[in-house]
Structures are given as structure tokens and as C-alpha cells.
């Protein structure tokens, strides 16, 4: 489908999203005229046709929007805006589908129904138009406030960027950043809480990478290590730069952790990436996709409300939905055999980012 897109369009969503807005707002206006001029048959059938076309275009806009998420990179503050946009879009879609189905039935019955039905459907559509405008407001904020989908030059990452600070720092909003460096072992022992395993069960070394300088190497032998830091966070984005070429197992970024048996996660191995949740120790998968991470890679997980996204090297790989968990802690889980190298781990509170 990309061959039909103009060069400036990141995806098809911006090309079709205005059709449901125009059709449905016009439909509501025509609906009002229909109620005022009840004996004019043309208003009834025009209103019905507009609602039906508007509902069809809303379906196209909604599902193109779900696909559009896969094609754009989101700044941190855009995650909560996107979540609200998606939730309102789904409510708008469902409401206008109901209105369109009702008008199909009314058309079939030649509109020979009690006037109370017509007024009730109009009120339902009027409420839908409010949802429609709110949905558009959040969509507009994503583009014009956050620049989502706007083509821009992204500067190349430099050595100074990735070696900016070799320390563990925590902010008042709960966000924290960790560049392990030479102090990685001591930080793991003093700043992190270990829920599975112990520091003395893992070989923790500082090695020197040609590009990044001092990095942390975790060597495990068929054990599970789960460690977290900081305070609880409601909506989170967590980024890590890791190398797993010599590791046979699974690395997880865990978030919304309440205890060792209940948390959300992004898991990556040599062949797959998956989003999921542990509930009372039982694993539930939101989505799983094949990947082949080699060398140093950047992984990102976003957990915002009922929306979850997993990225590899800034490309969206997995996207899932589930019920929202209470605020929780963030950390890593390492399970397998071999060596995982970690250059940084950054945790951002998205509630603060949106403000």
C-alpha cells in the first residue's frame, strides 16, 4: 500500500482521517434538520446515508490508525496522548456503528417509528460527535504538539551521548537513569532490590567496550535473577541498551511490578520479542514477534494505561492491550545461561512527561 502514498505521508491514516469527521458532523447537522422538518422525506434518507458512510469511514480511520502506530516514533510525552486518542477513537467507532445500524433499520421500515426513537438516536449521535471532536483533539496534539509523523532530521548518536554519565540517578517523579560503568556491581548490590536470585549468584563484571567504554556484564548459569529499583510509577517508558550475543536465555524489562509474581514485561531472546504479564506467577502473552538482535541493540517498553508497546532499535515490534495495573516498580529479569552486557537503563515516568 505504501506505493500509493505521497512522499510526505508517513502512513495512510492522515489521508483518510478527515472523512469520518466531515461525514459524521454533517450527518448530525442533517439529523437536526430532519427533526425540525419532519415531513421532508429527503432529510431522512440523506441523514441515514451520511451516518452509514460516516460509520464505514470511521472503521477505516480506526484500523488505519492502529497500523499507523507501527510506522512512527513516539516522543515520551506522546504516549499518554496516543492512549487517550486510541481509547476515544474506539468509543466513537462503536457508538456511530450503533447509530448507523439503527438508521439502516429505520430505512428498512421507511422511518415509520415513534418520534421518541428519532430523538433518542439524535442524542446518541450528538454525544458521539463530542467524542469525535475529543478524538480529533488528541490526534491534533500528537501531530502539532508532539510532532508525531512529522519528518525531521534525527542526529546520529555520538560517543559523548552514550558516555554522558556513569552513575545511578533518580528524580522526584520516580524516573531514573543508570549508566553502570565501573560502579555497576556496587550499584546492583546497594541500589537494587533482588526478588529472585542474589548478587553473589551472578558474576558481575565491568568490561570495556570500544564504543561505549565501561559496561556491565552479567554472567549467569541457569538461574533467574530479578532486580528492581526506584519508586512505583504509574505510566512508564523504559529503555535499555544491551548485548546478548553470548547469552542463551531471555532478558526482560519488568514494569508495574507489585511483587515477584505480578508484573508486566517486555522479553527478548535471540529469536523473539514478546509483551506480556505475570499474574500470580502465570504468564499471559499480549503479543509475540520474531526478532534477531545482534550486537548492541536498544530495546524499549511502554506501559501506559491499557496500552503496551515493545521496540527494538527504535522500531515498533510488539503492540498489546490489557487492563491497567496499579503503579509499580521497574527493573530487569535475566533467565538463562551466558553473558548479558548492559550499557544503560533509563526509566521515564510518562505522567510527568505529558505534563
Q: Rounded to whole angstroms, what are the CA distances from 2 to 13, 61, 83, 147?
A: 12, 16, 25, 21
For residue 288, being part of any structural domain is answered with yes
For residue 154, being part of any structural domain is answered with no
pLDDT of amino acid 141: 82
H or E segment at 331?
Answer: strand 328-349
Same domain, 138 and 165: no
Same domain, 171 and 97: no
**Backbone region of residue 249 per phi and psi (left: phi > 0; alpha: psi in -120 to 50; beta: other values):** left
For residue 97, being part of any structural domain is answered with yes
Question: What are the φ and ψ backbone dihedral angles of 260, each rounded to 5 degrees?
Answer: -70, -10
* Residues 251 and 242 sit within 8 Å (Cβ to Cβ): yes
Give the domain range for residue 128: 2-145
For residue 189, being part of any structural domain is answered with yes
Same domain, 190 and 337: yes
For residue 15, being part of any structural domain is answered with yes
3-state secondary structure of 270: coil
pLDDT of amino acid 164: 45
**Backbone region of residue 110 per phi and psi (left: phi > 0; alpha: psi in -120 to 50; beta: other values):** left
For residue 121, being part of any structural domain is answered with yes
3-state secondary structure of 44: helix
Same domain, 107 and 172: no
3-state secondary structure of 256: strand
* Residues 27 and 125 sit within 8 Å (Cβ to Cβ): yes
What global pTM score does this model have?
0.76
Same domain, 201 and 349: yes
Same domain, 344 and 279: yes
Domain boundary among 145, 167, 182: 145
pLDDT of amino acid 269: 96
Same domain, 117 and 164: no
User: How many CA within 13 A on the CB side of residue 78?
Assistant: 17
For residue 74, being part of any structural domain is answered with yes
For residue 324, being part of any structural domain is answered with yes
pLDDT of amino acid 81: 81
pLDDT of amino acid 3: 54
Same domain, 120 and 200: no
The domain that holds 343 is classified in CATH as 2.60.120.560
Domain boundary among 118, 145, 172: 145
Same domain, 32 and 74: yes
Q: Which three cell numbers stand for residue 31?
A: 439529523
Q: Which three cell numbers stand for residue 149?
A: 509523523
In the chain, the number of structural domains is 2
Same domain, 104 and 71: yes
Same domain, 19 and 74: yes
Q: Profile the chain (355 residues) by mean pLDDT over runs of 10 residues.
A: 61 84 93 85 89 93 80 74 85 94 90 85 93 88 74 48 63 90 86 92 89 90 92 94 95 96 96 96 95 95 92 91 93 95 93 53
* Residues 331 and 259 sit within 8 Å (Cβ to Cβ): no
Domain boundary among 117, 145, 173: 145
pLDDT of amino acid 154: 46
Same domain, 93 and 240: no
Q: Using alpha carbons only, what angle is made at residue 96 by residues 95 and 98, rounded to the nearest 5 degrees?
A: 70
Amino acid at each position: 500500500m505504501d506505493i500509493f502514498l505521497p512522499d510526505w505521508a508517513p502512513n495512510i491514516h492522515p489521508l483518510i482521517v478527515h472523512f469520518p469527521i466531515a461525514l459524521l458532523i454533517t450527518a448530525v447537522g442533517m439529523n437536526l434538520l430532519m427533526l425540525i422538518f419532519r415531513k421532508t422525506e429527503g432529510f431522512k434518507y440523506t441523514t441515514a446515508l451520511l451516518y452509514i458512510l460516516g460509520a464505514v469511514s470511521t472503521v477505516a480511520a480506526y484500523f488505519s490508525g492502529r497500523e499507523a502506530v507501527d510506522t512512527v516514533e513516539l516522543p515520551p510525552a506522546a504516549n499518554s496522548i496516543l492512549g487517550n486518542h486510541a481509547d476515544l477513537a474506539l468509543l466513537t467507532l462503536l457508538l456511530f456503528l450503533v447509530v448507523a445500524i439503527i438508521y439502516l433499520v429505520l430505512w428498512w421500515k421507511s422511518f415509520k417509528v415513534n418520534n421518541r426513537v428519532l430523538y433518542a438516536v439524535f442524542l446518541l449521535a450528538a454525544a458521539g460527535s463530542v467524542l469525535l471532536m475529543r478524538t480529533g483533539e488528541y490526534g491534533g496534539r500528537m501531530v502539532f504538539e508532539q510532532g508525531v509523523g512529522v519528518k525531521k532530521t534525527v542526529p546520529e548518536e555520538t560517543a559523548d551521548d552514550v558516555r554522558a554519565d556513569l552513575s545511578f540517578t533518580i528524580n522526584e517523579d520516580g524516573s531514573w537513569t543508570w549508566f553502570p560503568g565501573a560502579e555497576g556491581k556496587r550499584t546492583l548490590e546497594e541500589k537494587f532490590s533482588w526478588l529472585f536470585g542474589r548478587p553473589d549468584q551472578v558474576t558481575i563484571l565491568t568490561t570495556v567496550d570500544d564504543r561505549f567504554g565501561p559496561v556491565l556484564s552479567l554472567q549467569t548459569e541457569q538461574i533467574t535473577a530479578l532486580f528492581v529499583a526506584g519508586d512505583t510509577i504509574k505510566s512508564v517508558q523504559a529503555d535499555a541498551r544491551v548485548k546478548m550475543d553470548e547469552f542463551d536465555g531471555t532478558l526482560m524489562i519488568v514494569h508495574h511490578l507489585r511483587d515477584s509474581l505480578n508484573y508486566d514485561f517486555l522479553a527478548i531472546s535471540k529469536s523473539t520479542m514478546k509483551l506480556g504479564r505475570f499474574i500470580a506467577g502465570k504468564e499471559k502473552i499480549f503479543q509475540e514477534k520474531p526478532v534477531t538482535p545482534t550486537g548492541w541493540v536498544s530495546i524499549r517498553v511502554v506501559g501506559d494505561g491499557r496500552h503496551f508497546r515493545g521496540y527494538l532499535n527504535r522500531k515498533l515490534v510488539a503492540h498489546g492491550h490489557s487492563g491497567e495495573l496499579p503503579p509499580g516498580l521497574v527493573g530487569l529479569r535475566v533467565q538463562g545461561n551466558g553473558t548479558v552486557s548492559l550499557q544503560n537503563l533509563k526509566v521515564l515516568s510518562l505522567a510527568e512527561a505529558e505534563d
